[in-house]
Each structure stands twice: as structure tokens, then as C-alpha cells.
Amino acid sequence: MGYRGKVYKGDFKYKYVPYGDGAKAIINDATMKFTDPIDFNDPFDCSPSYMVGDFNELMKINQEAYKNAGRDLNLSPAQRIQEKGKMKARLQKALEDGSWKRTLQNSIGICSMTTKPCNLLMWAHYSNNHTGIVFEFSNVFPKMVDLKEFYLCAFHVNYELDKPVANLSEAHYGTDFLTKGIDWEYEDEIRCLNQEKKSGIHDYRRDLLKSVILGARIDSDDEADIRKLVKEVNQRENVSIIVYKAQMLDDKYKLIIPNHPVYGDPDW
């Protein structure tokens, strides 16, 4: 499956999480959760509409869809050619009952990140009412393309008013994982796509994690716990993760991150 998405090339990327075992694993174990799209909070996400289109063209171009249709009917390669009508009907049925869509969703794990560490809504929604954490990662590209998941390489999400209708005769329908409704545009989301290992908890390159940004309302015990853990990991792994704490401005609906080289300035 190919992707026509736009690769994110900024210097840093950010992950919002609540305080808890998952957050501590990001620090201590250098692991990151890649989510099955069916578990997303938006039922429209990764759920486009499909059409078969020109089946003869599909046979030539989209071998994955063609083989799946034949496999479902227990047909040999030779029988697939003879039973094109049955295969097209079977594929159409899979599109209508949602099983084709679920097969595609099952083929990938997604780690949602963003370009924005100070978004008020995301702090509220994904970092438990500003009591959680935002992780800041360097955006580094590997020399070997098969390490892109290990480096958390990400694609920009596109925001559209209309749902995409994907023609299965086009080989690059994987961009359906990179389109969301226009209401989500405030997130400026970027996505790491893991088609090899799919959903689950996967390792990332440890030295990508540059800082831990604590929420403005984080519990004092949780803050002490995170600071202690970061200190231990820095010593054990010979890394230099910095801990910041977000702060609310008195005269604006805005957060700053004191001492951060960019977001420490109230006029960022």
C-alpha cells in the first residue's frame, strides 16, 4: 500500500498523553503506542467510502484488492481469471458490509502526534484537563526507509469537508488514513503509520525524546514522580531529557513553557 501524504519536515513533533503507565513507558522504556483505527474517538476517522470502479483496471493495478477477493472465494490464480464476475460481486459485498474497510483498518497502527505543544483544547482532551504531559521529539529522518516507524516519521493529516471516496483501482488509497473532517483542523495532526507491526506498543529511537512538558495543573505527586523518572533515565541511558512545566498567562487565553527556547516567550 502506498501513501501520497505530505511528509512532516519540521524540527520537532509533540505527543499529548495523560499521566500514567503509558506516559512513564515513553520515558523509561522508549516505547510508543500505535492505535488500531477502530479505537479512534472519531467514527469518521480512517473510514472512507470505496467503490470498485473498473474491475479490469483493478486486476492490473491493485493486486492487493484483487488477491483478497480471490482468496475470500478460495480461488486459484487461474480460477480468478475465469470467475471475475463472482470476484467483483464478492468485493462489492465486502465494501457494502464494511468488512473490506475493517480489513484495511486492521492492516495498520497509527500514532497521532502534532506540531503544537500549547494547544488549549488538546491539553484538555488528551492530557486530562492539563494534568498530563506533552512529549517533545526531534524530527529526524533515517537513512534506511524501513526504520521510519522507529524514528516516528510522520505525515501531515489533511482536513476536508467531504469524505474521500476511494476507487480501488487506484493503488494509493492508503491516503485515507491521512484525511479527517474539517472540525479537527485545530489539532494540526501528524501521523506515524506502522504497516509492518500494525497496532501495539512499539520501540522508538530513545534519543528522539528531547523534553517532557508537564501540564499546568499536574498533581504535585505526579510531577515529582516524572521528574524523578527523567533523572534516572538520563543517568542510566546517558541522555539529556529536559523537564518543563506549562504555565497559564494571566492576561491571555494562552500557555507558555518557561525556559523553553521557543514557547517560553509569551509572544511565541
Q: Is residue 261 part of a domain?
A: no
Q: Is residue 170 part of a domain?
A: no
Q: Whole domain around residue 23: which residue ranges? A: 12-33+113-164+187-256
pLDDT, tens digit, for every residue of 215-228?
Answer: 999 999 999 999 99
The predicted pLDDT at position 57 comes to 60
* Residue 88 C-beta-side C-alpha neighbours within 13 Å: 15
Q: Is residue 243 part of a domain?
A: yes
As for how many domains the chain has, the answer is 1
Q: Is residue 205 part of a domain?
A: yes
SS3 at position 219: coil
Q: Are 204 and 152 in contact (CB under 8 A)?
A: yes
Give the whole-angstrom CA distance, residue 32 versus residue 26.
6
Using a pLDDT cut of 70, give the percent of the chain over it. Answer: 82
Phi-psi region of 191 (alpha: psi -120 to 50; beta: other; left: phi over 0): beta
Q: Are 197 and 109 in contact (CB under 8 A)?
A: yes
Report the mean per-residue pLDDT for the chain: 87
Q: Is residue 125 part of a domain?
A: yes
CA 64 to mean position of chain CA atoms: 23
Q: Are 257 and 264 in contact (CB under 8 A)?
A: yes
pLDDT, tens digit, for every residue of 165-214?
Answer: 877 766 555 567 999 999 999 999 999 999 889 999 999 999 999 999 99
Q: Is the pLDDT higher at 15 or at 83?
A: 15
Query: Residue 210 — φ and ψ, nearest 5°?
Result: -100, -35
State how far the alpha carbon of 47 is from the alpha carbons of 42, 127, 176, 198, in Å: 10, 25, 8, 17
Q: Is residue 234 part of a domain?
A: yes
Q: Is residue 70 part of a domain?
A: no
Q: Is residue 200 part of a domain?
A: yes
